[in-house]
């Protein structure tokens, strides 16, 4: 059953009638006419706050990297210089310096993780697919869950604000489920006929998706950049979120941004 969030209907004008059956295992209607309902409470003010949040994340990531990261690396270099100056003397002091070096390494790693969470470098410098692939790998490493990323190696031509919006929408969609070895969360994307289709599938059922606030967050993110969202709940309890966005044929390539 394909569910749509209640509200005023929103379709992409000029979207070709491309079937999703070949790429997503029969999802969608025969003509590929997937409709998303936009909640009536969604406002331009909410979109403004969301974009402001993204901008603040980017600014904070730059400041952490340039200022805090630079200070930590400089402190590590100074400690290395002090350690070399000591020679073989003061073994107890050398031991303390070695511990400080380890602490600084831990702090630098934590700073880099924070920067990546705020504004992933792959998202900025490579593209959406590379960032999602890295996110899936990071989730698997830190949560023990199973995530399968079936994403193109060639990036879609998306401007950075669109990449950020779709990346955050995908994060919210992924968080709706839990990946296991038997049933991993699947992240799949296809670009065809100037149409980007991104599907997130997991084994956890979403009750009343048109009322679920997490689904509404995904919807708002996708709608803010002119896209569509549909939710499919299957009898066996799996859920699939389908994000679609018509690409501009004149957009610069994402990896050139």
Give me the percent of the chain exceeding a pLDDT of 90.
Answer: 32
Assess whether 85 and 206 both reside in one domain: no
CB atoms closer than 10 angstroms to residue 190: 18
Average pLDDT in the chain: 78
Residue 252's pLDDT band (cuts 50, 70, 90): very low
| Mean pLDDT, rounded, for 180-198 | 90
* pLDDT for res 59: 84
Assess whether 160 and 181 both reside in one domain: yes
Let me know if residue 244 belongs to a domain. yes
* pLDDT for res 253: 44
Assess whether 144 and 228 both reside in one domain: yes
pLDDT tens for each residue of 29-84:
433 333 445 555 555 767 777 777 778 888 888 888 888 888 998 998 988 888 88
Domain residue limits at 183: 2-41+128-256
- Which CATH number covers residue 33? 3.30.565.10
Assess whether 234 and 152 both reside in one domain: yes
Calpha distance 166→72 (Å, rounded) = 33
Q: Which residue has the tokens 């790693």?
A: 109
Assess whether 146 and 252 both reside in one domain: yes
Counting the structural domains of the chain, the total is 2
Q: What is the dihedral of CA 69, 72, 78, 84, to 10 degrees?
A: -110
Let me know if residue 60 belongs to a domain. yes
Let me know if residue 46 belongs to a domain. no
* pLDDT for res 27: 44
Structure tokens at 152: 């193109």
Residue 155's pLDDT band (cuts 50, 70, 90): very high
Give the pTM: 0.73
Assess whether 157 and 248 both reside in one domain: yes
Let me know if residue 153 belongs to a domain. yes
* pLDDT for res 255: 38
* pLDDT for res 162: 94
- How far apart, in Å, are the Cα atoms of 215 and each of 122, 192, 243? 25, 25, 12
Assess whether 95 and 9 both reside in one domain: no
């Amino acid at each position: 059953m394909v569910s749509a969030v209640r509200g005023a209907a929103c379709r992409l004008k000029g979207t070709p009638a491309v079937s999703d059956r070949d790429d997503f295992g029969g999802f969608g209607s025969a003509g590929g006419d997937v409709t998303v309902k936009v909640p009536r409470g969604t406002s331009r003010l909410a979109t403004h706050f969301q974009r402001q949040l993204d901008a603040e994340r980017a600014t904070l990531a730059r400041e952490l990297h340039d200022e805090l990261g630079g200070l930590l690396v400089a402190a590590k270099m100074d400690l290395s210089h002090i350690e070399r100056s000591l020679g073989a003397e003061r073994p107890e002091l050398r031991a303390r310096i070695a511990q400080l070096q380890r602490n600084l390494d831990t702090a630098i790693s934590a700073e880099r993780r924070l920067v990546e969470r705020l504004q992933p470098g792959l998202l900025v410098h490579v593209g959406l697919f590379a960032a999602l692939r890295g996110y899936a790998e990071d989730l698997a490493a830190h949560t023990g869950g199973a995530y399968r990323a079936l994403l193109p190696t060639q990036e879609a031509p998306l401007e950075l604000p669109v990449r950020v919006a779709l990346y955050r929408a995908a994060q919210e969609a992924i968080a709706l489920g839990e990946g296991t070895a038997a049933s991993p969360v699947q992240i799949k994307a296809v670009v065809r006929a100037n149409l980007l289709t991104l599907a997130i599938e997991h084994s956890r059922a979403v009750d009343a998706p048109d009322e679920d606030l997490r689904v509404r967050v995904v919807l708002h993110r996708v709608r803010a950049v002119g896209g569509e969202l549909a939710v499919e709940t299957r009898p066996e309890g799996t859920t699939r979120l389908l994000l679609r966005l018509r690409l501009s044929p004149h957009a610069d390539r994402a990896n050139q941004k």
